Amino acid sequence: MDQAAAVERLADLIRDAGSVVALTGAGISVPSGIPDFRSPGTGLWANVDPMEVAHIDVWRVDPERFWRFYGARFQTLDDRLPNGAHAALVELERRGLLDAVITQNIDMLHRRAGTRELIEVHGTIEHSSCLACGARHALAQTRSRMEDDAEGIPRCDCGRPLKPDVVLFGEMLPVDALERAYELAGSADLLLCIGSSLEVHPVAQLPAVTRRAGGEIALVTQGPTPYDEHAAVKLEGDVVAELDALLGALDRLA
């Protein structure tokens, strides 16, 4: 199936589905200037061992080292803007063709783009919390506290180090978000997987949940995934161009 036919096929699937849910990974944010995780030379983990900088035990034992890494990560993400792929999902939601977005990303771009029904299964950098007293601080406050601290550690008013409200290595995913993601995947006629290698568990199991319930899966991602042979359609081009083409195909079907 050539690219144009694949786009038309995806448009047909979306138009005919009673429920469409999107699952997004790091690839949807690459056009916004945010590196993915494993691309050689450019991925976030290409030159650093995540277990040495982004593990919950590092935050507990050496918060200065942890925040030296995460402070730079915050700086990278804070000024990024949603791209056309994020906007396309907002438009699908506006048209009543998309029920929800489940994202593995922590970058706030879906929320900034205007997605209303959003499940952030890996958390968000939007705020950080104190695990001692429960206080929550917005991103700007966290960064200010980090800059004001001699060790570069953002601290709560009680003096304890803050932890970003993202799921670190060694932590469990938030139960409510994961349960909602499984519920949506199980009720979806079509799970649209965008920019994800579908290798990080337990989120990588969601396409199987959809298929077991009788739904279809569609892939918009570069590179192989474990579900390529099970997908009703796969688009492998630039994610912004592919989703723009999808909107155009849906316009023609209207």
pLDDT bucket at 204, cuts 50 / 70 / 90: very high
What number does CATH give the domain 1-34+82-122+173-254?
3.40.50.1220
pLDDT bucket at 253, cuts 50 / 70 / 90: confident
The answer, yes or no, to whether residue 43 has pLDDT greater than 80, is no
What is the topology classification, in CATH, of domain 38-79+123-166? SIR2/SIRT2 'Small Domain' (3.30.1600)
Q: Using one digit for the tens of pLDDT, what is the confidence trace for 52-66?
A: 778 899 999 999 988
Q: What is the arithmetic mean of pLDDT over 199-206?
A: 91
Q: Using one digit for the tens of pLDDT, what is the confidence trace for 65-97?
A: 889 888 877 777 778 899 999 999 999 999 999
HSE-up of 133 (CA within 13 Å, CB side)? 11
**Predicted local confidence at residue 226, as pLDDT:** 95
- Domain ranges in the chain are 1-34+82-122+173-254, 38-79+123-166
Report how far residue 6's alpha carbon sits from residue 11's, in angstroms, rounded to the nearest whole number. 9
The answer, yes or no, to whether residue 42 has pLDDT greater than 50, is no
Calculate the dihedral angle through the C-alpha atoms of 126, 198, 102, 99, rounding to the nearest 10 degrees.
160
Looking at the DSSP assignment, which residues form a beta bridge with residue 166? 123
Average pLDDT, the chain: 91
C-beta of residue 49 within 8 angstroms of C-beta of residue 38: no
Strand 123-129 versus strand 136-138 pairing type: antiparallel
Of 18-27, 51-60, 88-97, 190-199, the poorest mean pLDDT is in 51-60
DSSP per-residue codes, 162-197: PEEEE--BT-PPPHHHHHHHHHHHHH-SEEEEES--
SS3 content of the chain, % helix, strand, coil (to 5): 45, 15, 40
Identified catalytic residue from 86, 122, 127, 201 = 122
High-pLDDT (> 70) share of the chain, %: 93
Q: Using one digit for the tens of pLDDT, what is the confidence trace for 124-174?
A: 999 999 999 999 999 889 989 999 999 999 999 999 999 999 999 899 999
Known catalytic residue: 110? Answer: no
